[in-house]
Structure 1
Amino acid sequence: MAKIDPQYFRQELSVGEVASRSGVAVSAVHFYESKGLIKSWRNAGNQRRYHRDVLRRVALIKVAQRTGIPLASIRDALQTLPDERAPTAADWRRLSAQWRQELNNRIQRLTQMRDQLNKCIGCGCLSLRDCPLRNPWDELSAEGSGARLLDPD
């Protein structure tokens, strides 16, 4: 049996250790911190240190991102968890239940867009005035002239 380095079980980790053990780049660790998804502190040598629970949080972030959850939603969800405790299976069930409706809504929008796209390709007109993709329900006319983007979210 291989001997495990006792440093593996330390409660604080450097940014490089977090990156290595979580499988993300150091820049991703810094990015997650800048977006308020994870937290660090500075030691006496002014180096970033992370509590071990950050490894589970990074894993949760990666899974949520892979399913299409926006970082703002991930941040809001992570802020509901206690600090310095790894998210539990119960936490994940609660968070994923919150995201389920968001994902279902996105799937519905994408399905509708896909179906409208097929119609658009079939007609070939690409009318900016009547196109159900570019100007659904002619909502843009109420906003005045100029380029407008519609996104129900």
Structure 2
Amino acid sequence: MAASHGLSIGYLAERTGLAVSAIRYYEAQGLLEPWRNAGGQRRFHRADIRRLSFVMIAQKFGFTLPEIREQLSSLPGGRTPTKEDWSRLSEGFRTHLDARIATLEKLRDDLDGCIGCGCLSLPSCALYNAGDSAAKNGQGPRFLMGDSPET
């Protein structure tokens, strides 16, 4: 298919390994902006192959579609993104990944001691969460979510 005429949704599905329905869903979520040819068929930019690859990778890292859409919004809409455009996007992506890595490392390192649930069932909870003081900060595993045990 000639690039000047755009890529068909079938070709995009073949190149990315995604189902056509998934590509339509990503379009509905604002992750892609195809145009219609004279016959009313969707046409995609060649750069949408890379855009969809980014979506698939970001989802594997646990990013939500709104988070992915926010990251992709930094790319130019009217032209094929350059290496510099992708580098700029990757810097923002890196910041989010670093935060997630830090959270996962904390989970790994603290999981066998206290998951910060406020259950007070372990002897150490009386030290880290006396009187269920973590509950004042909200629901969930407060210490794993970044709260510090009060001393």
TM-score (norm 2): 0.70
Gaps of 5+ in 2: 147-151
Matched, 1:87 2:81: yes
Q: Aligned residues: percent identity? A: 39
Distance in 1 (alpha carbons) for counterparts of 2:134 and 2:29: 34
**When the two structures are aligned, how many residues end up with a matched partner?**
137
1:55-94 alignment runs, 5 A limit: 55-94=49-88
Deviation at residue 11 of structure 1 after TM alignment: 3.0
Matched, 1:114 2:80: no
| Cα root mean square deviation, aligned | 3.2
* Cα shift readout 1:6-28 (whole Å, capped 9, x = no counterpart): x3544322221111122222122
1:1-150 alignment runs, 5 A limit: 7-120=1-114, 128-129=119-120, 138-141=133-136, 148-149=139-140
Q: Which aligned runs of 4 or more in structure 1 are off by greater than 4 angstroms?
A: 129-132, 150-153
Deviation at residue 91 of structure 1 after TM alignment: 1.6
Deviation at residue 63 of structure 1 after TM alignment: 3.1
In 1, are the aligned partners of 2:9 and 2:42 still within 8 Å (CA)?
yes
Distance in 2 (alpha carbons) for counterparts of 1:51 and 1:38: 9
Residue 149 of structure 2: aligned partner: none
Deviation at residue 149 of structure 1 after TM alignment: 3.3
Q: Which amino acid aligns with 2:135?
A: L
* Cα shift readout 1:88-113 (whole Å, capped 9, x = no counterpart): 22122111111212111111111111
**Cα distance change of structure 1 residues 13 and 142 upon mapping to structure 2, 3 Å threshold:** closer
